[in-house]
């Protein structure tokens, strides 16, 4: 089993941000929303939802459209990513419901003390200290709030990582292929995430592999 190799926490290069904003993430991001619906089938999402590590806000916007009764706060440490997200939010007429915030965890300036749901996609593997994510979720979620975190799953070796890149990012720009490969090597295994949750006191949350390259952490906030 390949050991985890960390990667930069921020993705703030202009070329990198533009590539992510223009990339076709239809399949995995649509699946994110679909899995949320399947995980919380009877839950009406209202109030304000926090999206941690929102990047150019594709999932933030998709979630806002899927649950029109909620407002969204997306936070990310990369201003270059947020600039693309803000422009898209204006184009799509969602400025009254979707707000993007520049902030670095821990300590990002969040407008609310408690959120009605918290989501996150592909932030965990960027963090040198994973407890930052789990401690933020614990401190920001209202009791019983749906929690839904998806991230990459580290493959067994570099050869498997390259095979995943070749299968799922064959036609993407070199910067995306490079980042995907490094992100796979920086991702955590399921047992590592389970240990993180035990250390954070979030033992009620479940962890499941949901594809050959993704894992999911879900449940209700304590």
Quote the CA–CA distance of 218 and 222 in Å, as a whole number. 12
Contact present, 117 and 70 (Cβ < 8 Å): yes
Quote the CA–CA distance of 126 and 152 in Å, as a whole number. 10
**Greatest Cα pair distance in the chain:** 47
pLDDT tens for each residue of 34-81: 999 999 998 899 999 999 999 999 999 999 999 999 999 999 999 999
pLDDT tens for each residue of 148-193: 999 999 999 999 999 999 999 998 889 889 999 999 999 999 999 9
Q: In this structure, how many other beta carbons lie within 10 angstroms of the beta carbon of residue 34?
A: 11
Buried b (16+ CB within 10 A) or exposed e, 138-163: bebbeeebbbbbbbbbbbeeeeebee
Return the closest-CA partner of residue 221 out of 70, 71, 67, 43.
43
Return the closest-CA partner of residue 17 out of 117, 102, 129.
102
Quote the CA–CA distance of 53 and 149 in Å, as a whole number. 11
Q: In this structure, how many other beta carbons lie within 10 angstroms of the beta carbon of residue 15?
A: 10
| CATH class, range 14-220 | alpha beta
The token pair at 205 is: 């949350």
The overall pTM is greater than 0.85 = yes
Average pLDDT along the chain:
93
């Amino acid at each position: 089993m390949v050991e985890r190799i960390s990667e930069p926490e921020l993705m703030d290069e202009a070329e990198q941000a533009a590539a992510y904003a223009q990339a076709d993430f239809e399949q995995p991001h649509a699946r994110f929303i679909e899995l949320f619906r399947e995980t919380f089938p009877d839950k009406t999402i209202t109030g304000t939802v926090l999206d941690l590590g929102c990047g150019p806000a594709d999932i933030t916007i998709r979630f806002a459209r899927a649950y029109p009764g909620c407002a969204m706060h997306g936070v990310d440490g990369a201003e270059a990513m947020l600039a693309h997200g803000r422009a898209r939010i204006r184009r799509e007429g969602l400025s009254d419901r979707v707000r993007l915030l520049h902030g670095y965890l821990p300590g990002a300036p969040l407008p609310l003390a408690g959120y009605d749901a918290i989501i996150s996609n592909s932030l965990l593997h960027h963090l040198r200290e994973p407890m930052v994510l789990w401690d933020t979720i614990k401190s920001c979620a209202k009791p019983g709030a749906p929690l839904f975190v998806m991230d990459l799953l580290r493959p067994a070796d570099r050869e498997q990582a390259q095979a995943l890149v070749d299968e799922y990012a064959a036609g993407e720009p070199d910067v995306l292929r490079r980042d995907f490969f490094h992100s796979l090597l920086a991702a955590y295994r399921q047992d590592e995430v389970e240990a993180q949750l035990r250390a954070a006191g979030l033992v009620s949350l479940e962890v499941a592999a949901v594809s050959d390259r993704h894992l999911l952490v879900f449940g209700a906030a304590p």
